[in-house]
Amino acid sequence: MLTASGLAYRLPTGRVLFEGVTLSVELGQVIFIEGPSGTGKSTLLALLGGVLRSSVGDVTTTTVHPAPFAWVLQTLNSLNARTVLANAMLFARLDGTSTKVASGLSREMLRLVGIDALASARAGQLSGGELQRLAVVRALSCTRPVILADEPTNQLDRVNARLVMSTLVEQARDQNRSAVVVTHDRDSVPSDARILRLDESGLHAA
């Protein structure tokens, strides 16, 4: 379980980006966060994932996993010289999962998002949309208890966006993992999803 209480973040300029953010995500639960550009959604994810530190508030996880967060980055980072499969297995391999198990799971996830035919291609040859799906696969192919996804469908067409988002939600639920997804793409969000809106005063039900 991921819990945040009273989180605030002040920019180097002194402006308060947000404050009083309180959040609790159970295992198997997926929460969507939306809000206008510049309100600090990505920053909130960075605070939740420990990449940024906040002087106010706490973030706790109940897991003993040494690396609890599986990231889907907005910047579509990948090891461009390595194969798509190697990229998909990266988090799982870092967690100590055997190559055979990681490879099997990654191939299955690649199939679910429709890029299994590209498994042997170099990641540097992929389009933006394919890289985005690869980032989702990388997060789904490991066993880390918390998925943090930053706009995982912003490079995708509507059909693929729905496919990827539904795969993300279903796999998180099936694997009993928590997920926090930042998105502007309301169309791709499942109708039964819990959606929160971020503004300066914190998170509110949308």
Partner 1 sequence: MPRRPRVTMLRLAAEAAANSFARPAVTLGMVFAVAAMLVGSAVAEINATTTIRSYERDLIGAGYATLLVTQAGAGGTALSTRTCAQLGSIDGVRAAVAMSEPEPIHLWTAGGPGLSVRYASGDLSEFVALVESNALAGWTSAQALVDVKSGASSPGPLEYPLRLVDDGAETHDVNSLTVPLSAFGNGLSAGLVIWDARAGPASACFLFVETPRRDYVIRSVDIALPAIAGFARQWVLASADRFEAPPHRFATRPSQYYWAVASLTFIALGALHLRLRRSDHALYAIGGIKRRHIWALATLELALIILVAAMLSIATISILGSRADARGEELRVGYASLARGGIAIVGCAAILARSQANRTIDSTLEAIKDR
Binding flag, residue 41, partner 1 (CB under 8 A):
no
Which residue in the set 9, 69, 129, 178 belongs to the binding site for partner 1 (CB under 8 A)? 69
Q: Minimum Å distance from CB 27 to partner 1?
A: 19
- At position 98, the amino acid (one-letter code) is S
Task: Select 82 or 107, whichever has its Cβ closest to partner 1.
Answer: 82
Extended beta strands in the chain, E state:
2-10, 16-25, 30-34, 56-61, 69-72, 146-150, 178-182, 194-199, 202-205
Say which amino acid occupies 124.
G
Q: Is 11 a residue that touches partner 1 (CB under 8 A)?
A: no
- Decide: is 9 part of the binding site for partner 1 (CB under 8 A): no
For 9, 66, 176, 187, 190, the CA distances from 94, given in Å and listed in that order, are 31, 11, 20, 34, 31
Q: Which is nearer to partner 1, 17 or 189 (CB)?
A: 17
Return the DSSP state at 83.
Answer: B
Interface with partner 1 (CB under 8 A), residue from 5, 22, 24, 77: 77
Backbone Cα Rg of the chain? 17
Which lies closer to partner 1 via its Cβ, residue 29 or residue 42? 42
Q: How far is the CB of 79 from partner 1 (least distance, A)?
A: 5
Q: Contact letters (x/-) for partner 1, 147-186, by CB under 8 A?
A: ----------------------------------------
Q: What separation, in Å, do the N-terminal and C-terminal C-alpha atoms of the chain show? A: 22
91-130: contacts with partner 1 (CB under 8 A): 91, 93-96, 122
